[in-house]
Chains A and B, each alone.
Chain A
């Protein structure tokens, strides 16, 4: 009797704690309460605005108008400072007529290079109500332009609708187009030359990338790191299924490609463009050289309207842009064909694609406001500021949402391993969010970036999946084949043991 009792005893006393200890899932404790207290929709950005006018009344009126307009805005808090212009400044503005020059002269008195500070300056006798250029300065005519000022601030400078889209649960059009926030991107320029035997293309890709794209992304170096690459893809052919249309031109015809056919070109490019060389996202810019027998190609949209521009290009959200370059007729009629695409036009198209893909949206026209068109590849200073604000907000809200969904997942599924790395990433993200975007404070850009990186790393860490395929019922499938046969006689003899312990006679048997 004692023998059976000791057998059962050993099994239970040693076996149960052993089982419990050796099959526990390693989970680091996480700050669940802090994570659930995040409110992604409560974040906002802060900025500064300086209003300079010829006299105090105008300045006060403009300031009060702007304050009234942005009072209920929960997405951006503007700190407005009003000043009356000094004699010297007023003299400069009166005497200099050319706007660019005025800005230059004024730059010595105002500090236009400080980030996130915008200046609204009065300049009499403007041809429009307001004038906005490349620098962080807006000229307005008089106090009657206050409405236009507010519209311009809202739509162009601060882009509150895009900010709201960056913060919201569902992405708006701008967020669907631009690449998700990351610390670095690769930009790859691929020149696709389907028939290298029939035509020679003269194009210095490295130089083009360095000059045009390089100068563009230099301005954005505070936001992201960029790696610029270029490659030639030969013998990559694509059947456009273009319809030949006869016309009166030097070619005598053109080939019409439907807009919905173009996305298939991207598939073809993806096969060879080597976009998966690194973990970072790649912005693909492709220049497709059309062979002579298929030239010229003109893109028609879905309603059947021709693309009237001289450069045929299209952009794909979150992927990149393609320019389709057709050689001129006289080149194709020669023996030795040589095609040199116009660098300025092609790279200009690419830069405009890049602006959209990185988050600089198109500016709608506002009545009475003049936006100076872009003369160089570099983005406008205040556009970079706006981009910084958008990215900050996006990163803070995305980090909070990521952490919340991760915490919910980890709480619900109890057999996901949380190892030290993941725990440390989550803790770091939470501390950065608390420090950088706490209650009532505007979002801090650097902390937002770090918080976002930590949250992403925790969320996509592969160690979380280590035990995901062992829900509790499957664990029993592992134990039972081995332990059930052993426990079978134990369980059967438990009844007898219990009776024996309680002192009752077991059976009428002679046992030894």
Chain B
């Protein structure tokens, strides 16, 4: 009963906000709409496609051809129910996240059973019970439904709504052990924005965990399913565009080479406005390696026993370091934080992070107004606030990781921090 009320209220809030005057402002704000996902560019692309002009020839449209065709159909046949459709997608995402967290809870409990023997005597009461974990799914649902970031994302009618839905579906499939579904949805999500490809690693691990059997064959199955679905999706897109693969330059190429330096809540635009031509390639490569390749191997090696943590952390890291982030991405990974409720006691920087989030979210639009409309500030102000926002997110991530390690250690060795009777300190290695 309570859940239905939440859905209805959240849906109404989103639906109502889309129909107010705020919609216009919100759909144009740089924090919400980036050149990749903005509503304006979407209808521009659809219009060009309608007029039989290739929307990928200019710099207007950067979505995948599949999204183009879907929205072309929607805009042609049901243009007036689009607000309803977007709100419905968001509610569906919330539902999928709820189911995902339920599946993850099951995995938690199974894992705990497996390693119960490792737990030291004095930490036995730290072990989680089913009732404790049941609540987390409710919290996940509430967080996603009422998170201002997700609400703004939906009201702005950006395609990140679609992307969040695809990601939630992929994770839901993985949590319940359906290889084909999760790989297919993950392939769709990767096709839209390149960064979800990172999630293939934790997804493979989760699938191997859920589907008991030989791990290696599970990994190979997952990888195969993902590669096949991805190739299929790419091929279908080329088919839509009359057999040419030129759309790749405007979708993947755009994400990787970052030609558009419109300000957003990311870190790329500021660096590349002041970059010399000669060094541009090096820095683009360096930034993209940072976002895509650098953290996956070390994190996987360190947290191979906890793929769900890997999912959370990789989602968060890819949001912070991607080329065109928006608040929708932030809202999505924040929905996973309540799942780590049991780590909150070990986290030391909750207050700072929360304050930083609130302050930078309020300060960002303020300095933007000062910069663009009043002319009394400049890009450095806005970038400073954005940088603080990114720093707050990184603090959150590292705090989470550190808390996990502390809990792991405490479970194994009890809460006294002594080695051979002498006091010791925990270090994150």
Contact = CB atoms under 8 A, between A and B. Distances in A.
Asked if A pairs with B, the answer is yes
Contacts of A508: 419-420
Interface string A1-28: 1111011001100110011001100000
A10 B292 CA distance: 12
B413 A3 contact: no
Contacts of A470: 276, 278
B278 A510 contact: no
Q: State the majority secondary structure of interface residues on B.
A: helix
A482 interface: yes
Contact of A4 (B298, B412, B420): B298
B283 interface: yes
B289 interface: yes
Which bracket fits the contact residues of A?
A: 20 to 34
B301 A2 contact: yes
Contacts of A3: 297-299, 301-302, 429
A512 interface: yes
A467 B297 contact: no
A10 B278 contact: no
A478 interface: yes
Contact of B286 (A7, A15, A496, A510): A15
A7 B298 contact: yes
Nearest to A19: B282
A478 B276 contact: yes
B5 interface: no
B70 interface: no
B347 interface: no
Contacts, number: 67
Contacts of A510: 409, 413, 419, 424
Nearest to B290: A486
Given A509-B424, A511-B427, A478 B279 contact: yes
B376 to A, nearest CB: 27
B112 to A, nearest CB: 17
A484 to B, nearest CB: 13
B408 interface: yes
Max count, chain B CB within 10 A of own CB: residue among A467, A478, A483: A478
A495 to B, nearest CB: 13
B278 A23 contact: yes
Q: State the majority secondary structure of interface residues on A.
A: helix
B405 interface: yes
B8 interface: no
Given A10-B293, A467-B278, A512 B286 contact: no
B12 interface: no
Contacts of A2: 301-302
Which bracket fits the contact residues of B?
A: 20 to 34
A7 B429 contact: no
Contacts of A19: 282
A19 B297 CA distance: 21
Contacts of A512: 405, 408-409, 412, 429
Given A11-B294, A509-B419, A510-B424, A6 B301 contact: yes
A3 B420 CA distance: 27
B409 to A, nearest CB: 6
A23 B276 CA distance: 11
Interface in B287-344: 289, 293-294, 297-299, 301-302
A23 B302 contact: no
A6 B282 contact: no
Interface in B214-243: none
B286 A482 contact: yes
Nearest to A483: B286
Contacts of B285: 18, 22
Nearest to A10: B294
A1 B282 contact: no
Contact of A482 (B283, B425, B427): B283
B281 interface: yes
A14 B289 contact: yes
A10 B289 CA distance: 9
B282 A18 contact: yes
A470 B275 CA distance: 13
B301 A23 contact: no
Interface in B241-277: 271, 276
B284 to A, nearest CB: 9
Contacts of A483: 286
A368 B247 CA distance: 88
Contacts of B409: 510, 512
Interface in A311-362: none
Nearest to B425: A509
Max count, chain B CB within 10 A of own CB: residue among A6, A15, A467: A6
A154 to B, nearest CB: 56
Interface in B410-425: 412-413, 419-420, 424-425
24 contacts: A2-B301, A3-B297, A3-B301, A7-B297, A10-B294, A10-B297, A11-B294, A14-B293, A15-B286, A18-B282, A18-B285, A18-B286, A19-B282, A22-B285, A23-B278, A23-B279, A466-B278, A467-B278, A470-B278, A478-B276, A478-B279, A509-B419, A510-B419, A511-B429
Interface of B: 271, 276, 278-279, 281-283, 285-286, 289, 293-294, 297-299, 301-302, 405, 408-409, 412-413, 419-420, 424-425, 427, 429
Interface of A: 1-4, 6-7, 10-11, 14-15, 18-19, 22-23, 466-467, 470, 478, 482-483, 496, 508-512
Question: What are the nearest 6 A-B pairs in CB distance?
Answer: A3-B298, A22-B282, A3-B302, A7-B298, A22-B281, A6-B297
Given A2-B302, A3-B301, A512-B408, 15 more contacts: A2-B301, A3-B297, A6-B298, A7-B294, A10-B289, A10-B298, A23-B278, A467-B278, A482-B271, A483-B286, A509-B424, A511-B429, A512-B405, A512-B409, A512-B412
